[in-house]
Amino acid sequence: METIAARALAARKYARMTQKQAEAASGVKQSNISKIERGDTGRSMALLALARAYRVDPNWLDTGDGPAPWDVPQPGTARDNASEPPGAYRVTRTPPSGPSFHPGTPGTVPLIAWTRVASWKGAAQGAVQAERWLPCVAHHSPGNTYALRVRGDSMTAPNGHLKSYPAESIIFVDTQRTAPEDGERIIARLDASNEVTFKVFKQEDGRRWLLPLNPKHEPIRAAFTVLGTVVGKWEDED
């Protein structure tokens, strides 16, 4: 199956759910499920919620890689739990303060403080001090990816043509990706001051600089070290 839409529809049918039952089991609105199955939307955090509800491999649902649900033994149909979903949740722009997932739950990453970004060694290096753990459906390096709340307005785009990252929105950062391409969003440390910043990586004719999306802020042309590449953003499904 070539598309997310086709896999989402097939997974729901295999789970023997109507869209309304899928809404109850996943917390994803029926209108959004319909959009996904029509191909009217791309990747979103809703895919992880649907994968849990349908009991399918989230990587298969997102990319087509990995086993399809009919290729592996199933512990039970998802319909069995449709009336009592295990921890159904709604995707929100600013999650509640209490944790929804246990630390280290597969497919989740820790939401860490800015003060811990520069010294981040990976979740596999021991206990992680995190505000909570969030599901990350984007491709990422397990154990080497974290979530971070955006600070300030330098990455708030002035119009609707660019993806915007207003203050308090949440981004996912893969620290294994330290060789970004031109235009990718990155977390960088300024070499002179050790300040950590979130900007667009720009590169041309051997020169590198950091570009804010907000034109009220100046580009940064000082030397810097790439700490990771942004691979996704936590977004409201409405």
* pLDDT value of position 95: 42
**Closest C-alpha among 149, 141, 84, 145 to residue 115:** 149
* pLDDT value of position 161: 58
HSE of 76, CA atoms in CB hemisphere, 13 A: 6
* pLDDT value of position 124: 62
Residue intervals in the chain for CATH 2.10.109.10: 108-234
* pLDDT value of position 145: 93
Residue intervals in the chain for CATH 1.10.260.40: 4-81
- Where is 186: in which H helix or E strand? strand 185-190
HSE of 123, CA atoms in CB hemisphere, 13 A: 23
C-alpha to C-alpha distance for 199 and 230, rounded to whole angstroms:
10
Assigned CATH class of 108-234: mainly beta
**Residue that the structure tokens 């804010």 belong to:** 212
Asked if residues 171 and 161 have their Cβ atoms less than 8 Å apart, the reply is no
C-alpha to C-alpha distance for 75 and 99, rounded to whole angstroms:
27
pTM for this one? 0.60
Q: Is CATH 1.10.260.40 the classification given to domain 4-81?
A: yes
* pLDDT value of position 107: 78
Alpha-carbon torsion (7, 137, 42, 80), positive or negative = positive
Buried b (16+ CB within 10 A) or exposed e, 32-52: bbebbbeeebeebbbbbbbbb
Per-residue pLDDT of the chain (238 residues; tens, 9 = 90+): 678 899 999 989 888 889 988 888 777 889 989 999 998 876 666 787 788 788 887 778 888 877 777 765 444 333 333 222 333 323 333 444 444 567 777 778 899 999 999 988 887 655 678 888 888 877 888 889 999 999 999 999 887 656 889 998 999 999 999 999 999 999 999 999 999 999 999 998 889 999 998 889 999 999 999 999 999 887 644 4
C-alpha to C-alpha distance for 140 and 4, rounded to whole angstroms:
18
